[in-house]
Amino acid sequence: MRLFITGGAGFIGAATVRLAIARGHDILIFDKLTYAANLAALESVSNSPKYRLRRGDICDSAALESALTSYQPDAILHLAAESHVDRSIDGPSEFISTNIVGTYTLLEAAHAYWVSREPEGRERFRLVHVSTDEVFGSLEDSDDRFTEISPYRPRSPYSASKAASDHLARAWQETYGLPVIVTNCSNNYGPFQFPEKLIPVVILRALAGRTIPVYGTGENIRDWLFVDDHARALLDVTERGSAGETYNIGGNSECRNIDLVRMICRELDCHRPSGAPHERLISFVTDRPGHDHRYAIDPTKISGELDWSPSVSLDEGIRRTVDWFLANQSWWLDVQERGCSLERIGLKMSRLA
């Protein structure tokens, strides 16, 4: 297939590109190359004849139209998004622009491209809109899990902007017939993750002997999904998923934040015994505003329809991730030199505070 991947230079996007090329697909990445883009994650495939990169903003309708017309993709995987909750607290406007306006602009360009195709091409075409479990809000009952029909209850500017984009994608399916598939995934982690998310922050602050901030009491629970498993699910959905459907993608790996941090610390103790016990660096800090208590994905549908299931356990995934960060110091030092400080953000007070 010829795949047009927005945000293909991001963490999840790059993993998807690497796997897609391994599967034999042709790729055009359409990416604005913002602070979180990482071309180093694409070096292993950048010389492939199946790889193309085009710098562009999904809010730019003319650039999208030109790229789609010239490339003639069989499917679009829409991964371009602002995705960090704490950043959305400090500056929600970028999230509204990219996640809502950008998705609208892409849907319009994709629809115009789709209707211009021959009947066979229209039948084959898919637009896979990649979203998050955070749109569903917070789970309190320990037995509940999010399904494809769970109600939307977003509680942060980030999750609200993604919820809006999901609704737009479904509206273009229902109103205009655009063959859209929506996916909602749990928390991703793995090699090349930008050091603003929990796992790389813990690893890098621990290696530096700095305190490891844990929000609140660390009781918040997330379902963790190794990024390569997510990439495999996205390609399975693109290749064999049904238009108009939603697929939840989870790792079957629920864990309290404090337990996850301790797991990383124990792994670092094995590799860097001179700094052990790294757990001594844990520091509980003021909780994030509107912090959801628990997320958990029920992946029954994608497992049953597409025979997908996560292959990497949380223990194995943490080992592989820590090993990768230890072996790739030059990568994360370069990222830090370009302005990633590992300091906490998202402390902007509301106007009622």
Residues 28, 36, 18, 242: is their CA dihedral positive or negative? negative
Of 51, 104, 113, 158, the catalytic one is: 158
Of 82, 86, 134, 228, the catalytic one is: 134
Instruction: Please provide residue 312's backbone torsions phi and psi, each rounded to the nearest 5 degrees.
Output: -110, 115
Catalytic residue at 133?
yes
Q: Round to whole Å and give the CA distance between 198 and 180.
A: 31
Catalytic residue at 305?
no
Catalytic residue at 239?
no
Of 57, 133, 196, 292, the catalytic one is: 133
Neighbours of 171 (CB within 10 A): 14
- Catalytically active residues are 133-134, 158
